Amino acid sequence: MPIARPCAIVCIVTSLALLSPSYAAPHNAALDRWPRLIVWAWERPEDLRGLDPAIGVAFLARTITIAGDRFRVDPRRQPLRVSPETALMAVTRIEIERPDALSLDRDTIAALASAIAASATLPRVTGVQVDFDAGVSERAFYRQLIRALRDRLRATVPISITALASWCAGDHWLDGLPIDEAVPMLFRMGPANEPFRRMATSRAAASPCRSAIGTSLDEPIDVRSEGRRVYVFNPRPWTDAALLQARSRVLR
């Protein structure tokens, strides 16, 4: 996903006012109650008041930048306006400045997990999502982080993560993680991941990835929801026309 711009906690608070047993944790019924269509609200002003209650919003709540053995948390700066009945998921984007210098001890990973878990305390948030394009050398760190995050959230708060498409097609490194869903990102994939576009029309994916799918309005592909939750990214501000386009991707 695009890199977010920094922002302040007070801003997000003000603006919001307006496992399957095969991969770790017990099934989380809270996620079953989430809408089948979720729109991502990234780092820009968004006014989604009046949104159909059948559509949820996964909004960028904070960006964590890791450099060596330290990290920085930048909360959202741009206003997000939603109706009281809209389901909200807080997204934390993780960026690593120098992957070759990643060196985090257990206490620092615990602090990172606490910073992500804090997003669940924002007004009306009922789920958290982590957006991190972990490289092979970063997987061990990411697994530790997700386990630490699960320990810091109420059992009723579901954990969603975005996933590279390749993670969901024969790459089993997500197995055993206490997550409630992994969302294969079928956009901005590049040539190496193009073969995985077939996930858009089939649920033939590794078990953590079978219940959700991610797509983007500016990369039209044939999407069949097949009962999955569909997340839709929009590189531009959301409008009624864009929301109608998003709905057309999941109502089949």
Total residues found in the chain within this entry: 252
- Whole-angstrom distance, CA of residue 150 vs CA of residue 70: 21
Please check whether residue 213 is in contact with residue 162, taking contact to mean a CB–CB distance below 8 angstroms: no
* The two three-digit tokens of residue 246, written as one number: 């998003």
Burial tier of 84 (Cβ tally within 10 Å: 0-12, 13-18, 19+): exposed
Parallel, antiparallel, or unpaired for β 55-67 and 70-75? antiparallel
pLDDT at site 7: 42
Lookup result for tokens 């922002």: 7
Percent of the chain past pLDDT 90, that is, above it, reads 60
Domains of the chain: 9-247 (3.20.20)
Half-sphere exposure of 40 (CA within 13 A, CB side): 27
pLDDT at site 63: 98
pTM (predicted TM-score): 0.85
**In whole angstroms, how far apart are CA 138 and each of 81, 91, 185?**
35, 19, 19
Q: What is the mean pLDDT of residues 17-38?
A: 61
Please check whether residue 180 is in contact with residue 19, taking contact to mean a CB–CB distance below 8 angstroms: yes
Q: Which amino acid is at 77?
A: R
Q: Which amino acid is at 12?
A: I
- Whole-angstrom distance, CA of residue 132 vs CA of residue 220: 23
In whole numbers, what is the pLDDT of the chain averaged over residues?
Answer: 84
Q: How many Cβ atoms from other residues are within 10 Å of residue 227's Cβ?
A: 9
**Diameter of the chain by CA atoms?**
47
CA angle 170, 211, 201 (to 5 degrees): 70
Q: What is the mean pLDDT of residues 40-59?
A: 95
Q: How many Cβ atoms from other residues are within 10 Å of residue 106's Cβ?
A: 9
Q: What is the mean pLDDT of residues 102-116?
A: 94
- From 2-11, 42-51, 75-84, the region with the lowest mean pLDDT: 2-11
Model pLDDT for residues 157-198, shown as the tens digit of each residue: 999 999 988 888 878 899 999 999 999 988 876 665 666 767
Q: How many Cβ atoms from other residues are within 10 Å of residue 166's Cβ?
A: 14
Model pLDDT for residues 205-250, shown as the tens digit of each residue: 656 788 899 999 998 777 777 788 999 999 999 999 999 999 887 6
* The two three-digit tokens of residue 209, written as one number: 């990835």
Q: Which amino acid is at 1?
A: M
Q: What are phi and psi of 144, to 5 degrees?
A: -60, -40
Name the DSSP class of 7. B
Residue 33 has pLDDT above 90, yes or no: no
Q: How many Cβ atoms from other residues are within 10 Å of residue 183's Cβ?
A: 26
